[in-house]
Structures are given as C-alpha cells and as structure tokens.
Amino acid sequence: EPEVTQTPSHQVTQMGQEVILRCVPISNHLYFYWYRQILGQKVEFLVSFYNNEISEKSEIFDDQFSVERPDGSNFTLKIRSTKLEDSAMYFCASTGEIWGSPLHFGNGTRLTVT
C-alpha cells in the first residue's frame, strides 16, 4: 500500500536555526497538509496546500513557517528561526480528493529545539 514518507525521523536543532522537514506524499495525491503534535497534546492543523499554493493556514502557521513543493514529489515545511516551543512531532498528510477521501499521514518528524 502506498504511504507518505517523512524525513528525517528525528531532527535536533538549536534555537534560532532554520529547519526543513521533508515529505513525499502518495504519488497521485493532489492535496497536502502539515500537522503538528506537541508531546501529550492534540494533533493540530498547520496548513493545507493545493495547486502550488496555500489553501488554508492556522494561527500557528505564522511568518516563520513556509511550505513548498519544489518538484513533483517532495513537499517541505520550513521553519525559519526555530523557537523552543516549536519542539513537536510534525506530520505530513496527503489525499487524492478534497472532500470525502481520508487523509494519509506519514509517521512524522520529531523536532527537538534546544
């Protein structure tokens, strides 16, 4: 069964550094998402992306965050200047249809900001 893959599985960075989290969505999917989950808390929506542009973003997704689909397969989340509170699991997801089709999540990147 095709799956969403994310790299790296764990990233440690120092406060103020830039990080790029990478995702390869399922190949024929058109809608892409990033979610995050702070340890012990809910899974939170960050951003949705379709047709090379952001469809929707949450309040968490401020100017420090950006997303990009640099080629036909990768989907990236960049955090420009990391803060301690950015430490979380970041999940990428994709789906083939905007309505009615379940999201397929990757296994996440654990980001630790020190």
Chain contacts with another protein (rule: CB under 8 A):
4, 31, 33, 35, 42-45, 48, 55-56, 58, 89, 91, 93, 98-100, 102-108, 110
Burial of 10 (0-12, 13-18, 19+ CB in 10 A): exposed
Q: Which is nearer to another protein, 2 or 16 (CB)?
A: 2
Cα–Cα nearest to 36, from 46, 24, 49: 46
**Minimum distance, C-beta of residue 55 to another protein, in the bound complex (Å):** 8
Judged by beta carbon, residue 10 or residue 78, the one nearer another protein is: 10
How many H helices and E strands in the chain?
A: 0, 11
Q: Which is nearer to another protein, 15 or 43 (CB)?
A: 43
Choose between 32 and 81: whose C-beta lies nearer to another protein. Answer: 32
Min. distance of Cβ 81 from another protein in angstroms? 25
> Shortest distance, CB of residue 3 to another protein, whole angstroms?
10
Q: How far is the CB of 107 from another protein (least distance, A)?
A: 5
Half-sphere exposure of 37 (CA within 13 A, CB side): 14
Contact, 43 vs 58, CB < 8 A?
Answer: no
DSSP alpha helices (H): ranges in 25-99?
none
